[in-house]
Structure formats: C-alpha cells, structure tokens
C-alpha cells in the first residue's frame, strides 16, 4: 500500500472509530440530539464542541506547511459567497439528517455494522449523487 493510501486508510479508520465511540453512527442518538422540544440528548453537542478545537489545531498546523504530505498543493475552496445551490444543499442535508438521523460519514460507518437502515440511506445517498452528476453533465453539455 502506497504512503498516501495508507495514511488515508488510517485517517478513515480513526474517523470511523471516533464516530462509533461518540455515538454519531447511532441514528436514535442523533435524533435525540435534534429533538430540542422533547427528550433532548446534549451529548453530541459536547462531541462537536470538542471536535472544533481539535480541527482548529489541525488547520493551523496545515497552514504552516507549503504543501500537504501527499499532494503538490492544497485544494481549498475559493468561493466566499452564499448562493442558491449552497443554501438548498444545506437545507437538503439538514432535512435528511433530521429525518434519518444519519449524515454521510456515520451512515457509511453504520452500514459497515450491517444496519439495514444505514444501507438504505447509503443507497439513497448514492442515488442522489448519481442523479446530481447526471443533471450537472446534462446542463454542461451543449
């Protein structure tokens, strides 16, 4: 396994284990976090709150480098404005998260545990991605 593949595997493994340990791959726990008017479970807020400073340190360290370890240059977003596509995408993501209790990463982790609900979510997510790509290609072609 080449260096960058091994690093990606280790990073993905650590991320997946972290999601499992934090309970973010458990849709019931996620839905309880989103249920502000009912039996609210604040534990995921603590997980997310702890993730912010850890990520901030990682971003700070990455910005000290001229290039990433396994690429020639960083690929950072250049747009700084909100547009209709971003807002609609964020709304779709939030609604899907609220209905299913999954977002993409935790859904992949949970599908690896054999969860039928997660596998259905992943199939629907991949279908949505394929439909989006098809519409984008259709829009781009003359």
Q: Provide the number of structural domains found in the chain.
A: 1
pLDDT tens for each residue of 63-103: 899 998 888 888 888 888 999 988 998 998 889 888 889 98
User: Which among 15, 18, 19, 22 has a CA at the least distance from the CA of 41?
Assistant: 22
| DSSP designation for 56 | H
The pLDDT of residue 130: 95
Contact, 30 vs 44, CB < 8 A? Answer: yes
Q: How buried is residue 119: exposed, middle or buried, by Cβ count under 10 Å (0-12/13-18/19+)?
A: middle
Q: Is the pLDDT of residue 122 over 90?
A: yes
Domain that holds residue 101: 3-140
The pLDDT of residue 1: 59
The pLDDT of residue 71: 83
């Amino acid at each position: 396994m080449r260096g960058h593949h091994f690093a990606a595997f280790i990073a993905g493994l650590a991320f997946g284990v972290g999601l499992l340990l934090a309970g973010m791959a458990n849709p019931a726990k996620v839905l309880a976090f989103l249920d502000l008017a009912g039996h609210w479970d604040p534990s995921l807020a603590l997980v997310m709150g702890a993730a912010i400073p850890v990520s901030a340190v990682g971003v700070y360290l990455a910005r000290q480098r001229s290039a990433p370890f396994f690429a020639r240059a960083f690929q950072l977003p250049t747009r700084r404005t909100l547009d209709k596509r971003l807002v609609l995408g964020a709304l779709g993501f939030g609604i899907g998260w609220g209905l299913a209790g999954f977002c993409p990463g935790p859904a992949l982790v949970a599908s690896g545990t054999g969860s039928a609900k997660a596998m259905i979510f992943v199939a629907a997510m991949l279908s949505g991605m394929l439909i989006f790509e098809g519409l984008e290609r259709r829009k781009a072609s003359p």
